[in-house]
């Protein structure tokens, strides 16, 4: 049966990088991949057109689709808007409306890029880490939230960090299940020494781990985890953490792989339906210049084939093709180093298609 993919390019470099991933997906049609792409608006582009960063039409399309491919949202142009209609709200809205609570962010170092990382090659070579970030709860969504004016006229901003046991258990299970297919080690990251909410997180993970006697569970405070990620990142197999800690640690982990332009992600619901997007943002400073790295988005399409469309052979082909173009010495600006061939966004996409 033909699978429907909702394509939401978004803002900034979004349309440029998504176009390259679409090239790659379309190239598989001749090999029998039955997919149909539909395009929708999200983020600032949607706000400009409709007054909402997540129009009903887009939400409906995303709900009906089998999978979603997303570029990025946000940009200087919309920074002064009220927070309720900012482009980021479109992304957060779709994550929460579709219950995409499990965000998988693999940080894999392609050996060809060991020199592109700002860290020493011996620290990062062989890196293969999976960050499992809770995506629909925590301080991103907790109530109450807002900015209020106190009696003395001073303004006060406030947000709420909140997690229920059920939310911790379901993200924990995802992490343990993934660890079983890897090195069977989970490191749960919290701030249990200060925040009650993550004290509960730690207790709940510990109780849950009894169902997974074959998986080794460890705990780490988030400040230490950030330090360990740059000191000795290969100690980690699977990291599981809250929405905000995962946001921060995954940006940090991305630099271990040479560039944030290399990291794909999957955001899954309970049934494996998913939205796939690069972890980087809309990079408005380089938008429209055809220099952004499309590999994170192309690798996100590979994750889509693997996790939602159940087409691991096509996913393997994309990952092998990415490795091949790196072998050929092709590099976008963010991963460029001396002796390599510098290519544009579109040239990188074409090269991956040729290497499939």
CA angle, 232 then 237 then 241, to 5°? 95
Applying CB under 6 A, does 88 fall inside the site for ligand IPM? yes
Applying CB under 5 A, does 134 fall inside the site for Mg ion? no
Q: How far is the CB of 276 from Mg ion (least distance, A)?
A: 15
115 counts as catalytic:
no
Q: How far is the CB of 150 from Mg ion (least distance, A)?
A: 31
Name the catalytic one among 47, 110, 140, 212.
140
56 is in an annotated binding site: no
115 is in an annotated binding site: no
Name the catalytic one among 48, 66, 128, 251.
251
Applying CB under 5 A, does 277 fall inside the site for Mg ion? no
**Per-residue mark of binding to ligand IPM, 225-264 (x: CB under 6 A):** ----------------------x-----------------
Residue 189 site contact among ligand IPM, Mg ion, none (CB < 5 to 8 Å, cut-off depends on kind):
none
177 counts as catalytic:
no
CB neighbour class for 64 (10 Å; exposed up to 12, middle 13-18, buried from 19) = exposed
Residue 88 site contact among ligand IPM, Mg ion, none (CB < 5 to 8 Å, cut-off depends on kind):
ligand IPM
83 is in an annotated binding site: yes
% helix / strand / coil in the chain, to the nearest 5? 45, 20, 30
| Contact residue for ligand IPM among 27, 119, 275, 279 (CB under 6 A) | 279
79 is in an annotated binding site: yes
SS3 for 333? helix
140 counts as catalytic:
yes
The dihedrals phi and psi of 257, each to the nearest 5 degrees, come to -90, 10
Residue 91 site contact among ligand IPM, Mg ion, none (CB < 5 to 8 Å, cut-off depends on kind):
ligand IPM
Stretch near ligand IPM under the rule CB under 6 A, chosen from 15-23, 88-96, 163-171, 285-293? 88-96
Binding to ligand IPM, residues 65-84 (CB under 6 A) = 74
Question: Tokens 């982990």 map to which residue?
Answer: 253
Q: Which two tokens stand for residue 330?
A: 């092709």
Distance CA 192, CA 19 (A): 43
Applying CB under 6 A, does 281 fall inside the site for ligand IPM? yes
56 counts as catalytic:
no
Name the catalytic one among 247, 273, 276, 307.
247
DSSP 305-331: HHHTS--HHHHHHHHHHHHHHHHTTEE
Applying CB under 6 A, does 128 fall inside the site for ligand IPM? no
Q: Which two tokens stand for residue 310?
A: 């159940």
68 is in an annotated binding site: no
Q: How far is the CB of 14 from ligand IPM (least distance, A)?
A: 11
31 is in an annotated binding site: no
Distance of CA 246 to the CA centre of its chain: 10
- The gap between the terminal CA atoms of the chain, to the nearest Å, is 23
Distance CA 37, CA 257 (A): 30
Q: At what angle do helices 345-355 and 14-27 cross, to 10 degrees?
A: 20
Nearest residue to 215 via CA among 249, 178, 243: 178
237 counts as catalytic:
no
318 is in an annotated binding site: no
CB neighbour class for 30 (10 Å; exposed up to 12, middle 13-18, buried from 19) = exposed
Q: Extract the annotated binding site for Mg(2+).
A: 223, 247, 251
* Footprint on this chain of ligand IPM (rule: CB under 6 A): 74, 88, 91-92, 247, 279, 281
Q: Extract the annotated binding site.
A: 75-88, 95, 105, 133, 223, 247, 251, 281-293
Catalytic residues: 140, 191, 223, 247, 251
């Amino acid at each position: 049966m033909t699978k429907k993919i909702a394509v939401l390019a978004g803002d900034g470099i979004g349309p440029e990088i998504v176009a390259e991933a679409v090239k790659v997906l379309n190239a598989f049609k001749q090999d029998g991949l039955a997919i149909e792409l539909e395009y929708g608006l999200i983020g600032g582009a949607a706000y400009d057109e409709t007054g909402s960063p997540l129009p009903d039409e887009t939400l409906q399309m995303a709900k009906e689709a089998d999978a979603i491919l997303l570029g990025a949202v946000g940009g200087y142009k919309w920074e002064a808007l009220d927070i309720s209609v900012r482009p980021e709200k479109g992304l957060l809205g779709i994550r929460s409306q579709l219950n995409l609570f499990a965000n998988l962010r693999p940080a894999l170092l392609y050996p060809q890029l060991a020199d592109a990382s700002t860290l020493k090659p011996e620290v990062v070579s062989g890196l293969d880490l999976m960050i499992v970030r809770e995506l629909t709860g925590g301080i991103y969504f907790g109530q109450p939230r807002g900015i209020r004016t106190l009696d003395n006229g001073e303004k006060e901003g406030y947000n709420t960090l909140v997690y229920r046991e059920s939310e911790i258990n379901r993200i924990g299970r995802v992490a343990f299940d993934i660890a079983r297919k890897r090195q069977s080690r989970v490191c749960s990251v919290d701030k249990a020494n200060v925040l009650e909410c993550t004290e509960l997180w730690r207790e709940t993970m510990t109780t849950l781990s009894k169902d997974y006697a074959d998986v080794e569970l460890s705990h780490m405070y988030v400040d230490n985890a950030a330090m360990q990620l740059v000191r000795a990142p290969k100690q980690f197999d699977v990291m599981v953490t809250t929405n905000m800690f995962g946001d921060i640690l995954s940006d940090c982990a991305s630099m271990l792989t040479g560039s944030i332009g290399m990291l794909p992600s999957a955001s899954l619901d309970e049934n494996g339906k998913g939205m796939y997007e690069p972890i980087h943002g809309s990079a408005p400073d380089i938008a429209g210049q055809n220099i952004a790295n499309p590999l994170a988005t192309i690798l996100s399409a590979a994750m889509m084939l693997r996790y939602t469309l159940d087409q691991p052979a096509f996913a393997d082909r994309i990952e092998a093709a990415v490795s091949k173009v790196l072998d050929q010495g092709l590099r976008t600006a963010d991963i460029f180093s001396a002796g390599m061939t510098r290519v544009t966004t579109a040239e990188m996409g074409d090269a991956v298609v040729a290497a499939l």
